[in-house]
Amino acid sequence: MRKLLLLSLIVLTSGCTPFWQQKPTQSADILWQQRLVQQEELTHWAFKGRTAITQGQEGWNAGIKWEEQHEQFHIKLFGPFSQGGVALDGDQQEVTLTLDDGETMTAATPEQLLAEAMGWLLPVSALRDWVRGVPYSQAAIENKQLDEQGRLTLLKQAGWTIEFLRYMPFETYSMPSKVFMKHPDLSVRLVVTDWSRPK
């Protein structure tokens, strides 16, 4: 009887293994190509979490909410208890930065706005791909490393080194939940607590 119960327990627990933890039957390279196709189809997404930005001797910590719908995006950085902060809204034509005092600034690219307003040289256009665990489509890949499930663990691109330290499930996707991005002049740490669809 004990052997039967033990066997039943093993069968039940193995049957409940989450899909993102199951051992793959295909090679990492094949799974990587499938992941790229899958991510290409993901045009509506959102996440929330925390970020830490370090530039020189200065550092900033903030909560972050990011929403994407096709080419439109909304990024909100805020302090404790969702107070203050800045918001970045835009598309392919124009980007608007709204400061916590209500002042707004407009430019053609998010990189230009953040450089002028915050002094951050952040490649926001590339971040839109990196946060999903895929390379920036407009820059060459200098180096990449994959895990056995075909997910990025390391990416070098556009002068940045991006480490993907953890993933989490979202619908049928496996999305990054802990990402470190390093540049000689700037570093960004991102911890995602929730992936969802834009409201």
pLDDT tens-digit series, residues 4-22: 434 443 333 344 445 445 6
pLDDT at position 10 is: 37
Q: Dump the DSSP string for 4-71.
A: HHHHHHHHHHHHT--GGGSPPSS-HHHHHHHHHHHHHT--EEEEEEEEEEEETTEEEEEEEEEEEETT
Which tokens sit at 166?
A: 């953890």
Tell me, yes or no, if the pTM score tops 0.85.
no
pLDDT tens-digit series, residues 103-162: 999 998 888 888 888 788 889 999 999 999 999 999 999 999 999 999 999 999 999 999
Give me the chain's average pLDDT, please: 87
pLDDT tens-digit series, residues 170-197: 999 999 999 999 999 899 999 999 999 9
Assign domain 47-196 one CATH number from 3.20.10.10, 2.50.20.10, 3.40.640.10, 3.30.200.20: 2.50.20.10
Q: Where are the domains of the chain?
A: 47-196
